[in-house]
Amino acid sequence: MSTPSIAETTQTLRSGFLRSCQAHPDRIALEVAGESLRYGELRDRAAALAATLAQHDCDRESSSGEPAPALTAILGHRSGAAFAGILGALLRGNGYVPLNPTFPPERTRNMLERSQCRAVIIDGQGEKQLDEVLAEIEASLLLILPEREDVSELAARFPKHTVLGAGDLADGDDWSPAPVDPNGIAYLLFTSGSTGVPKGVMVTHRNVVAFLDAMAARYGITPEDRFSQTFELTFDLSVFDLFLAWECGARVCVPSQAQKMLPAKYIQESRITVWFSVPSTGVMMSKLRMLKPDAYPSLRWSLFCGEALPAEIVESWALAAPGSIIENLYGPTELTIACTLYRWDPERSREDCELGLVPIGDPYPAMEVLVVGDDLREVAPGETGELLMTGPQLTPGYWQDPEKTAAAFITPPERDRIHYRTGDRVRRGDGKSPMVYLGRMDNQIKIQGYRVELGEIEAAIRDEAGVEVAIAIGWPVTAAGADSVVVFVSDENLDRADLVARAKARLPSYMAPREIRHIDTFPLNSNGKVDRKALRSLLEAD
C-alpha cells in the first residue's frame, strides 16, 4: 500500500490511524477473537476492502437524483471483519453506517434502506441475519463477506445482489486513500426516536477530529496503552475506543461476549490501561463482587459515560483501581460522543454529588454550555434548566429529516450560534459547585397533579435501601400523567414493605412509591443502559 501524505489525511477520522501505520507498522493495533493484528496488517485488510469498494463503484444518487454522500454499511458485531470494514470504508473516502446483527431485522432493514447504502460489509454474525434483512430490499447491493471463502451458495440465494467473499477482494497493495471533505460524513449513527423511527445522526470528520484532539491532549495516550472495547459499533462511544487508541499507536483489546460478562478477568488478563464503559457495567461488577481492593493495578484511566454515574460505584472502583484516574463523561450523539467531563477527587467529590450521582462537570475547552429556562433564556448560576450546547462537535443534524433537525438544533434568543437542545435537566455550575445532571426533561411526570422528578424518588430509594440502582416508573398511567410510582430494585433481601414505609416518611405522599418490586437483573438496551421501556412493559403485562 502506498504511504499517504499527512496533508492528504488531515482533519479526517482515518488520519490518526494512517499516521500510526507509518510510525508503528509492527505494533499490535487490535486483539480480537484470539487474533492479534499489527497496524500494517490491519491497514492491508482495510485497503483490500477499500479497493474492492472502488472496483465495484458504489457511488449513488439521493432520492432527488443529486449526488449524495457515499456511505458503506457495516453489518457486524465487534469482529475483525467489522473493524477492518470501518477502516476500509474510510480509506475509500466513504462514511460508515454501523448495523447491529442483534437488532431486530426489520429495524436493521429500515436503517439500511434509509441510509441508501449500496455496499454492505458483513461478518459471520451479520450473515445470520441476511435472509430477513434483504427480504424486502428493492435496490441491488454489493455484499462483501471477508471472512467467508466460498460464497457461491449465498450468491445463488441472493441473485439480485453482487456477493463477494475473501477470494474476490481486490488487491490493496497500491491503494491510496481517496480524498475526503472534512465536512463530509464520517459515520451515520441511528439512535432511537420518540416516534419509534430511528433518527440518523450525521457526524462529520471535523466533528469527530475535534473530539479526538481534545481527548488526545487530555489523556496523554502512548503506544504502550491498552484500551478496552466494550461498546457495540452502533454506540458512538465505540469511536473513542477505536480511534483514540489508533491515533496514538495504542492497542485495542476486544473481549468476547463471555469475557464481557466477566470483565474482571478480561481487565487483568488483557492488562487494560484505559477502561471505558457505561456505569451499568460498574454496577454489575459491584454486584458480582468484582470491585475488590487493588483488583486492577494496570488501569491508568477509568472513564464512564452513557448514563448517570452513582457515586457509590466510583468509590468502590477507586479502591479496586487505586492507580487509576476516574472521570465521568457526558454527551449525546448529536454533540459527538462526549462534550463535558468531571474528574473524581476522593477528598471533595462526594460534596459535589447531587441525588447520589457524580456531576457532569465542565465542557471541553472548545465547547460552550448554555442552561436555559422555559423561555430559552439563560438561567442564573446555580439554577436549573435545560442544557444546550454548541461548538466544533455540534453535528449538522438528522439524516434527511429537516423537521426534527429544526426542532433540536436552534439559535436561542440573544445568541448568534446554533445550539443543540439535549433535553437534559441540569443545575448550572456556580463557580463553587460543578454542573450536575438531574434527569431528562421528559423524566419529569405529573403525579396527582404535582410535577415530580423521578430521579429524586430514585435517589431516596437508593439511599434508604443502600442499593446502587433503583428505577422509578410512573404507574398506573393516567390521562394527566400517573397516579403513583413503582420502583424496581435488584436486591431480593430487602424488606420492601418497610422500604415503602420509610419512603413515605421521607417523601411527600404523592412521591412515595406505591410498591417496591424486585427484579433479578435489570434489562439493558443494546447500548448497555437500563431499559426503562422494558420495565414499563413488565407492569403493563400484569
* Per-residue pLDDT band at 178 (split at 50, 70, 90): confident
The one-letter amino acid at 291: L
In the chain, which residues fall in CATH 3.40.50.12780?
6-203
Report pLDDT for 483: 83
d(CA 89, CA 190): 18
Q: What is the DSSP letter of 485?
A: E
Percentage of the chain surpassing pLDDT 90?
75
Answer whether residue 6 shows pLDDT above 50. no
Helices (H) and strands (E) in the chain, counts: 20, 29
Among 45-59, 117-131, 233-247, 409-423, which stretch is predicted with the lowest mean pLDDT?
45-59
Answer whether residue 64 shows pLDDT above 50. no
Residues in the chain: 542
Mean pLDDT of 169-184: 91
Mean pLDDT of 458-478: 89
Answer whether residue 4 shows pLDDT above 60. no
* Per-residue pLDDT band at 8 (split at 50, 70, 90): very low
Residues contacting 103, CB < 8 A, separation 6+: 234, 526
The one-letter amino acid at 181: D
Report pLDDT for 106: 86
> In what helix (H) or strand (E) does residue 388 lie, and over which residues does it extend?
strand 384-390
Decide: residue 531, CB within 10 A, 0-12 exposed, 13-18 middle, 19+ buried: middle
* The three grid cell numbers given for residue 228, joined into one nine-digit string: 478496552
Answer whether residue 67 shows pLDDT above 70. no
State residue 504 phi and psi, 5-degree precision.
Answer: -65, -30
Mean pLDDT taken over the chain: 92
Among 6-20, 251-265, 276-290, 450-464, which stretch is predicted with the lowest mean pLDDT?
6-20
Answer whether residue 10 shows pLDDT above 70. no
* Per-residue pLDDT band at 449 (split at 50, 70, 90): low
Would you tell me how many other CB atoms lie within 10 Å of the CB of residue 224? 12
User: Do the beta carbons of residue 272 and residue 226 sit within 8 Å?
Assistant: yes
Cell numbers 465542557 label which residue? 363
Report pLDDT for 121: 99
Under CATH, what is the fold of the domain 448-541? GMP Synthetase; Chain A, domain 3 (3.30.300)
Answer whether residue 62 shows pLDDT above 50. no
Assessment of whether the complete model's pTM goes beyond 0.95: no
Answer whether residue 9 shows pLDDT above 50. no
d(CA 218, CA 306): 20
- Regarding predicted confidence, which is higher, 269 or 179? 269
Report pLDDT for 212: 98
323: nearest Cα among 344, 347, 348, 302? 302
Answer whether residue 189 shows pLDDT above 80. yes
Answer whether residue 80 shows pLDDT above 60. yes
Q: What is the DSSP letter of 468?
A: S
In the chain, which residues fall in CATH 3.30.300.30?
448-541
Q: At what angle do helices 39-55 and 80-92 cross, to 10 degrees?
A: 60
Report pLDDT for 197: 72
Tens digits of per-residue pLDDT, 349-406? Answer: 999 999 899 999 999 999 999 999 999 999 999 999 999 999 999 999 999 999 999 9
Report pLDDT for 41: 98
Mean pLDDT of 424-441: 92
d(CA 447, CA 238): 38
- Regarding predicted confidence, which is higher, 219 or 456? 219
Mean pLDDT of 251-262: 94
Among 64-68, 148-152, 335-339, 438-442, which stretch is predicted with the lowest mean pLDDT?
64-68
Report pLDDT for 480: 61
CATH number for domain 6-203, candidates 3.60.15.10, 3.40.50.12780, 3.40.605.10, 3.10.580.10: 3.40.50.12780
Q: What is the DSSP letter of 417?
A: S
Query: Coil, helix or strand for 195?
Result: coil
